[in-house]
Structure 1
Amino acid sequence: MADIEKLKQYNLITYILYILGFFVGVTPIIAVIMNYWKRNEMQGTWLESHATWQIRTFWVSLIGYLIGGLLTAVLVGFAILFFVFVWNVYRLAKGLIALNNGQPVGPMV
């Protein structure tokens, strides 16, 4: 049980790093590396869903931000950037709430 508590704390730290990314920029890269690093340890537990959730959130957001950034020249990029930001905040909030409640997060989209 102590390992689960340590891994839960680890997940909380990675969620915080993702949130700090809105202000600092580089911390989500650290968080996604941490997620990949510990995901095997979480395998078979409800915490594995959080690592997978965070990894998918990182990659989809990164792609969305890149596409939105490229398309700002034709103005539609600003709408894409806003949508990706809102989606990113939603995913982080949903994950944190589930983590706090001791539940897996999903569905995995």
Structure 2
Amino acid sequence: MNDDIVEVRAVDQATLDGLQAWGWVSYILHLLVAIGAVIPGAQISVLVLVVALVIDLVKRSDARGTWHESHFSWRLRSVIWAGVLYVVTFPFFLLGLFLFNPAWVLISIWFLYRIVRGMIAMNKYEPLPQ
């Protein structure tokens, strides 16, 4: 049995278009947060990230069985992993006396990469790996 097979459900075009629109809104909000994390002093409010997460959590069930589902899961996993990595590397932040944490720079660049990669895939109407 092949575990890579994803069950696809029949969805009307209006639903797919709506998922596409919500996906872009979420990607743009995540992108703002990611850019703010990479550029020193340009941090965006955590509220922007919370709004993006709420969109992803609420709309993910609507996307179940479509190629959009992978994008909602991708964004959620990206935020969860970045959050875990920030927490785990917090002691390095303390050692740098709150000035610079190279681990956080790398995590922020990784998060930005994940968001841009997802946006490129969405623009091509392609799912992302699970």
Q: State the TM-score, normalizing by the size of structure 1.
A: 0.88
Over aligned residue pairs, what C-alpha RMSD do you find? 1.5
Given the alignment, which residue of 86, 100, 109 partners 2:109?
Answer: 86
CA–CA distance in 1 between the matches of 2:115 and 2:59?
Answer: 18
2:45 to 5, 25, 35: 25
1:5 to 17, 25, 28: 17
Between the two proteins, the alignment pairs up a number of residues equal to 106
Give the helix-richer structure, 1 or 2: 1
**Structure 1 residues 3-82: aligned runs within 5 Å:** 3-21=15-33, 22=36, 23-26=43-46, 27-75=48-96, 78-82=101-105
Gaps in structure 2 of 5+ consecutive residues: 1-12, 37-42
Q: For the residues of structure 2 that align with 1:19 and 1:29, how far apart are their CA atoms?
A: 13
| Moved >4 Å (runs of 4+) | none
Deviation track 1:9-63 (CA, whole Å, cap 9, x = no partner) reads 1000001111122242321111111111011100000000000000000111122
CA positional deviation for 1:67: 3.1
Larger Rg, first or second structure (1 or 2): 2
**Offset from partner CA, 1:52-88 (integer Å, 9 cap, x none):** 000000111122223334421224x712101101110
Deviation (angstroms), 1:101: 0.4
* Structure 1 residues not aligned, in runs of 5+: none
* Counterparts of 2:78 and 2:88, CA distance in 1: 15
1:103 aligns with 2:126: yes
Q: Secondary structure at the match of 2:89?
A: helix
CA–CA distance in structure 2, aligned partners of residues 24 and 73 of structure 1: 22
Which deviates further from its counterpart, 50-59 or 16-25? 16-25
Measured in 2, the distance between the counterparts of 1:8 and 1:105 equals 14
Determine what percentage of the aligned residue pairs are the same residue.
25
